[in-house]
Amino acid sequence: MSTTSEQLGKLEQDSSLSDNVRRLVCEVGLQDTDANSEHSDWHLYMTDEGTLQWEAFERVLHQSSSEGSHVSDYQTAVSRLAPVCRAVHAYLSQLSPAERRRKYSPHLTWTGYGQLFEECFDLLSTSDQTDRTLSLLQATAALERALGDVFLMNGTQCPSLLKDLLATRELTEIFGCTAMSCLHIVIGPPSSLNLRNIAWHGFLSPGEVPDMYVSFLLVVVTTLGEQTPFLYEVSHRTPLDLSPQLHQLQKVFPVLQVTDLPILRDVIHRTTFIQPSMMPYWEKALEKFSDQSYGHCLLLLLPQLEHGLRRVFAVVNNCPQRMLTAESSVLYTTFDEILSPTLQDGSTNHMSSELGDSYMEVLLDLLVHPEGPRVRDHASHGELDLTTIPAVLANHVLCVCLAFCVKYASTDTSVLSGTAVHVEQVVQRYKSLFHPTALLVQRVRKFTTLS
């Protein structure tokens, strides 16, 4: 076992949320709860059809329409909104699946992702805590894409970041100040609950986010559809096609089979790359791969790959505090910094020397190079059709994750299976496919072949 593996194994960490973020997300909204009133309060904020009454929310947030959608104090806003979220979650919990579909399905088509959002409701109703995070990942990606489509009805250049999109005049004019304030509180800037970012960047352990916030977000989506009927005429952008990139990636790794799953489970339980509290996500990802639910497999693995790499980054650069979510005034440690040659202070990032060129090239090809699939960016911003993610993409990402698990194995790699060792050997020999120099070489070869 390498020195880094030993150090990773000594990291004792129940949560990856910093104290202030954890307090806001996990505690503020749960104070002074009255379980007996949960089922009776929903009618104060919701219509008989289960959508939201924005006028009631203006009163809850102590906000007037003249104030706009700006929220100045997110802790106060969360404490005021939380009882409503509890009531909404209680209302959803007492609906049968058939009742829920009857009430909500017609109001989801405006997103262009009606099926995905129905699936988010289904995931939220299971007893599996990993499904809650999966629902949040899927809902935030699809909602960002849908809001971008709505923005383009009147706007031109759609903002690339969700927090900037939520702050646009175009969306406020269409949806109203109160609706946008609610979205700001739940998935807005770092000082908000910021659920989209803490989920997609791999900070959430299973069960950390109260279910009520995810329920509330889903009902907001249906309410936007019900109360803005002209949205059903919105033109939706075509999902991104990664076929050219996948054509090059499909021969990189062996094709994993269902019969390999026991081997893969053995590997993920013999590594220090995975924080123990995150293990349920990895187990669920393997289950989804086995079920050929490749979109869900991808959504679960990408944040966990970032989380594992962040742990390595923190160890090799001697900055253990960077494993946690940053406060609102500091940037998160994300893939961009993890894979950058230098740190924010200009000093050398030791990730390259720790991983070696081939591992770095695998990651840069998958996540960073402009001509590569940039799969995390495209998936998290809703640019991919998550219902049709091909097996080759899920296989590639799973193999990359497997290689890092083997690299930071907690036992002698000689006891690991041939499949796992083979995957790591592929990475050790890997040469970039999407670096500008590699692309130039490919073009020259193609030209000389044609001539």
How confident is the chain (451 residues) per 10-residue block, as mean pLDDT?
A: 84 85 91 52 88 91 58 88 92 95 96 97 96 98 98 93 95 94 95 95 95 97 93 92 95 92 92 96 98 98 97 93 71 86 92 96 97 97 96 98 94 75 93 89 74 54
Amino acid occupying residue 430:
Y
Amino acid occupying residue 232:
Y
CA distance 193 to 256: 38
pLDDT for res 35: 47
pLDDT for res 38: 44
Per DSSP, the three-state class of 46 is strand
pLDDT for res 39: 39
Q: What is the pTM for the complete model shown?
A: 0.94
pLDDT for res 67: 53
Q: Which residue intervals of 233-347 are DSSP H helices?
A: 243-249, 261-268, 279-290, 294-316, 335-338
**CB neighbour class for 243 (10 Å; exposed up to 12, middle 13-18, buried from 19):** exposed
pLDDT for res 66: 47
Among 168, 154, 162, 146, smallest CA distance to 236 is for: 146
DSSP per-residue letters across 144-195:
HHHHHHHHTTT-SS--SSHHHHHT-HHHHHHH-HHHHHHHHHHHSSTTS--H
CB-based contacts of 372, cutoff 8 Å, min separation 6: 245, 364, 365, 366, 433, 434
